[in-house]
Every structure is written in structure tokens, then in C-alpha cells.
Chains A and B, each alone.
Chain A
Amino acid sequence: MMRDSPQAAAGGAGAFDGGTTDRALGDVLLRVENISLRFGGVHALTDIGFEVREHEVLAIIGPNGAGKSSMLNVINGVYHPQQGTITFRGKARRHMSTHDAAAAGIARTFQNIALFKGMTVLDNIMTGRNLRMRAGLLAQALYFGPARREELEHRAFVEQIIDFLEIQAYRRTPVGRLPYGLQKRVDLGRALAMEPKLLLLDEPMAGMNLEEKADMCRFVLDVNEQFGTTIVLIEHDMSVVMEISDRVVVLDYGRKIADGAPDAVRSDPAVIAAYLGIVH
């Protein structure tokens, strides 16, 4: 992917040349313990607990309204649970703040794409680098020294992502004009630009046709394989889940009803009961 040319070498392309190849699961990266979340009287999540290990692909499944999205929102600090602890990379917290989560290396994509409509694909992905950009306001205003260098380095990195997601042709297109499937890719790209340790994908394949799904599967697996990124995803399409996830956690009415290898979970009576008439 890298060229040995003077230009291409620019930028902290770290993860992209070489990168880790081992899919051997490492130690626990994220642990959530007895999380409970309420909105007013509504119990969105009740006493949820599970672990995610490094380099793992974990799928959270469950019927609509089972609290899957809420779970992600708790992990990256959009919602603050009334009870429970979140331990990420050894640091235990009552709850995350969105900024802490991002700074600690948690990125996510959104179920109904939350891109910055007014901006181009390039700028959208560039925003993912904001935490790594240090130049002060004045430097930026004058576009000199650090500001310029920084801008160009991160551009180089972002181009790696654009190349990786095969969206070169749309670099300068405002995301609003892109078809749905491509917007999903850009959403993923923005998350990847953060070089996350943990990547949360909220229904990455929702509303896609078969071909788009296949592509997205490939991207998710490539991310996991090439950069060793740990992935937690919510997905409805069981075939997808079975294909790409190492482990599955099943939620129903805000409670965890199963947790284990895909096949084991598939045959779990409780899961079948919960899903009766929903899948297959």
C-alpha cells in the first residue's frame, strides 16, 4: 500500500504499512460490569456485563429495542448509566465522557449515518484526526509552520484510509450527495481515522444490498486483520454475524441472555425463544 516515494512516506502512516497481522486474541481490552441505564421509568439496560479481548470481533445481537444501541452509547459515553463500571485498557470508570472515550481510543459508526453533511468526504475523514492535531489557532490562521505540516501529514494518513476503503473517486464530493452505501463507508473511514483501539459499529450493514454488505464485511475483516483493531458490532443479519464475529452477546429487553461462540449462541434455546419469528 505504501510507495517508497518521497511524498507517500509522509505522515504517521503507522498502522497502514506492515501493521499487526496476528489474530491471536490478547488480554481483556474492555470490561463492562453490571451496567444499568434508565430513561425516566424506562429500563434500557439492566445489569449488563461482558468482556472484549484485544483483536476480537464481538457481535451484540438482539430483537429491536433490546438495548443494543444504548449499550454502545454507554461504552462511548453518550449515555451515562445509573449503575455499573466500565474498564477500558485497565482504567475503570463509573461512566465515560464522550471525549475521554475518544481520547482513550474508542471510535464508532452510527446506525443512521451521522456524517457532517455539509463537508466533503475528505474533510469528514479529516475530522477523525482532530484529537491528534495540536497547532494553535494563530498558527492555523496564518497556515504556517506546525499548522501546515500537521495538516499535510494527516492528509497523507487520511489518503491511506480513502485508498483502503476504495473511495478515491469521491474525495471531493460533499457526503450529502453520496449514495447510502458509500456514506456508510465514509462513516467507517472517519472512525478509522482515529486509529482506534476499539471500534464500535452500529449496524454497519443496515439497509445495504448484498453486494454492499459483502464489501462492508470485507472492510470490517480487513480492518480487524490488518490493524488488529478490536471490533464490537451490532448486526441483524445473522449470516453476517456468524461469518465475521468471534463471539456473540445476545440482549433481550435490556438483559444479557447469552454470550459465547456464534454456533453455541445460535443453538441456545433462550436465544431462539427471544428471536422466535424474528430471524430466519
Chain B
Amino acid sequence: MLYREVGQFRTSYEADSGIFPIRQDRIAMLAVLAVAFVILPLVASPYLFSAILIPFLILSLAAIGLNILTGYAGQLSLGAAAFMAVGAFASYNFVLRVPGIPVLAAFVGGGLMAALVGIVFGLPSLRIRGFYLAVATLAAQFFILWALTKIGWFTNYNSSGVITAQPIVIFGFHFDTPRSKYLVVLAIVSVMALAAKNMARGNIGRQWMAVRDMDIAAEVIGIRPMRAKLYAFAVSSFYCGVAGALFAYSYLGTVEPEAYSLDLSFRILFMIIIGGMGTVLGGFLGSAFIVILPIVLSVTVQALDRTLHLSIPTSVASNLEIMVFGALIIFFLVVEPHGLARIWQISKEKLRLWPFPH
């Protein structure tokens, strides 16, 4: 209905294979970026930044990472949080032990370290598939957290086993306010999301999906499944690693390994299920959903509480949250296995064909 595609014809493959071939979409995207980069920083409250926007962006990044591995390459992983932890602790140690290293470089270093670990734990995918692999990633989850807890070096022998992220300084500018931290995160996430989209629509992305959909056929046309999978593990872990570092540096500040527990891994998995497997958009939608849902729930619970004087204990609220998550996962897997992203896509198609139904 809003779409007016007549006259938008393409005279080169360049134009035809763009990320947003339709003009109206390009405009919409620019609008979103404008809001994110300009409007929000002007209007949003510190609470909005540090309680919603920042975690939303960071988790989106992690979700995109997991989506590359699970959604695109079809390798189920239950250890996303562990790789985030690697990223966080590695970055911390880079800043700590490499004098004068720019913090951004430290993030990249953290990502690369996570990628390395990712490859190691991806090796089993040489021989094993499906749940077996999921279990391997669980092993990563437990082993890595254990190592970070038990081996003092990682926490610089902090007595209580926590690390305190160093301040973010880029070109001498201190990013210490919620707003400035938000902008850092936003910038990084935007760039990496774009990169993810490029990989997904490029040769490597096709290889991932090929391995996911029909690995024998993939082999027969010359794709090396092993290589493709390890790439997926590496890239995915890199994304998670950077996300983990941001999680520590611009969200939590002081972090213990337990912050990256199995529970977080599951949440990220939920994000891509709800958001939509095998799409970059899905990462953002899922993350938004999972970040906002608890807030909505607790607000409604409190509202009920106040109006009906039920005096509901807080534990109930949190359990309610858990329940709803569980139920939602099942709901989405049953009703719309392709998640919010698909719903978005369908409604978009409808708009393009309006007033026709199909």
C-alpha cells in the first residue's frame, strides 16, 4: 500500500543484488538509522539507554552471532554465552596486559580469541551432528565458565573472581555516560550487522545454508562442509565475543563469569527462535522481544498487584517470566517456526500487493 514500485527497474546486477532493492525500504532504513543515531540520543533518558537500548543492541549482536551458526549453518549451539565470556575476559586482559592498546582493538582481540575457542569447540562438528553437537557446545559452556572461575590469571587474581571493565576511551574521548556508551555500542552493532548481512548473501553464506539444507549435495558441488562449519563457528563466536566484551564494558561494568551462564545462552537461543532463524533482522526482533517482555510482564504484574491487592511476591513475577518464555518458544515453534522476521516479511509482501490479497 505504501509501496510504489512502478518504474523501479534495475539495469545492472549491482543494483539488482542490493540489500534493499526497493526504494521505499531504503528510505525506511535510513529513517531507522536517523532515529537511532540522532533522535534517540537527543531525547532518551539514561534509564532507557542503560536498561533497554544498550542490552537490546548487545544481545542483538550476540543473537546475530548465534544465528550465523544455528540459523544459517544449521549447527545448534547452547554455548553462546560462554563465547561472550571469552570475549569479555580476553578484552579485559588485552587492555590490562597490553600497554596502550586501544579499547576497540581490545574488543576485536576479544572477538578473535572467542573465534579461536569457537573453532576448537567446533572441531567435533567434523564428525557429529544435531544433538550430539549441541552437547559439545554445552561442554564449552561448562568448561569455559569453570576455567574462568578457577584460573585466577583471567581475573587478574581478583579475590572475588570478578573483573571490572576498564573505561572506554577512544581517541582520548571518555565514553562514560549512558548516552555515549550507547553510541559506541550502536556504531559497532550497525557495522557488524551490515557485515553479517553481506556474508549471509555472499558465497560463504550460501555455503553455510547449503551445508544446513543438504550437506551431501553441498559436498558434491565442491563445498567443504568442514570448512564451512568451522567458518561458521569462528564468525559466530567472534560476534558473540565482541557482544560479550560490550556486555562487560558498556552494560555491566563489573562482571563475574556467572553473568554468562547457561541461562543467558538459552535466552540468546530463544531470541533467534522468536526472532527468526537464518535472518539478520531476526536477531534484532528477537532481542527486542526478550529484552522488553520481562519489563512488560513485571509492569503488568505490579499493576495487577496494586489494583487487586494480591501482594504477589517478586519471585512469582520472575517465575511467570520464565513460564511465558517457555510457552512462547513452544508457541513460535508450532505456529510460526520462522519467527517474527517471517511475520514481518509476509506483512511486507501484503503491503506491496495491496489492494490485492496475493
What is the interface of chain A, defined by CB distance below 8 A to chain B?
7, 10, 76, 78, 98-99, 101-103, 107-108, 110, 114-119, 123, 126-131, 133, 135, 137, 140-143, 147-148, 150-152, 155-156, 159, 190-191, 194
Contact = CB atoms under 8 A, between A and B. Distances in A.
A155 B224 contact: no
Given A103-B222, A152-B13, 20 more contacts: A10-B13, A98-B219, A107-B220, A107-B221, A108-B220, A116-B209, A116-B214, A118-B213, A119-B206, A119-B209, A126-B203, A127-B206, A130-B207, A135-B203, A137-B235, A140-B199, A140-B204, A142-B195, A156-B13, A194-B222
A151 B203 contact: yes
B217 interface: yes
Contacts of A118: 209, 212-213, 278
Interface centre among B202, B203, B216, B218 (most CB of A within 10 A): B203
B206 A140 contact: no
Contact of A142 (B198, B216, B218): B198
Contact of A127 (B196, B207, B216): B207
A115 B198 CA distance: 23
Nearest to B207: A130
Contacts of B163: none
Nearest to A187: B217
Interface in B211-259: 212-214, 216-224, 231, 235
B218 A137 contact: no
B292 to A, nearest CB: 29
Contacts of B212: 116, 118
Contacts of A141: 195-196, 198-199
B202 A151 contact: yes
A148 B19 CA distance: 13
B202 A114 contact: no
Given A78-B220, A118-B213, A140-B198, A130 B203 contact: yes
B17 interface: yes
Contacts of A143: 198, 202
Contact of B220 (A102, A129, A155): A102
A190 B221 contact: yes
Contacts of A142: 195, 198
B336 to A, nearest CB: 16
Given A102-B222, A155-B17, A137 B216 contact: no
Interface centre among B196, B209, B231, B278 (most CB of A within 10 A): B209
Contacts of B222: 98-99, 102-103, 130-131, 194
B12 interface: yes
B5 interface: no
A123 B221 contact: no
A155 B219 contact: no
Contact of B206 (A7, A110, A126, A135): A126
B65 to A, nearest CB: 13
Contacts of B213: 115-119
A147 B202 contact: yes
B11 interface: yes
Which 6 A-B residue pairings sit nearest by Cβ, starting from the closest? A102-B222, A114-B217, A116-B213, A141-B195, A140-B202, A131-B222
Contacts of B288: none
A117 B214 contact: yes
B210 interface: yes
A126 B203 CA distance: 8
Contacts of B224: 99
Nearest to A137: B204
12 contacts: A78-B220, A99-B222, A114-B214, A118-B212, A119-B210, A123-B209, A127-B207, A135-B202, A141-B199, A159-B13, A191-B221, A194-B222
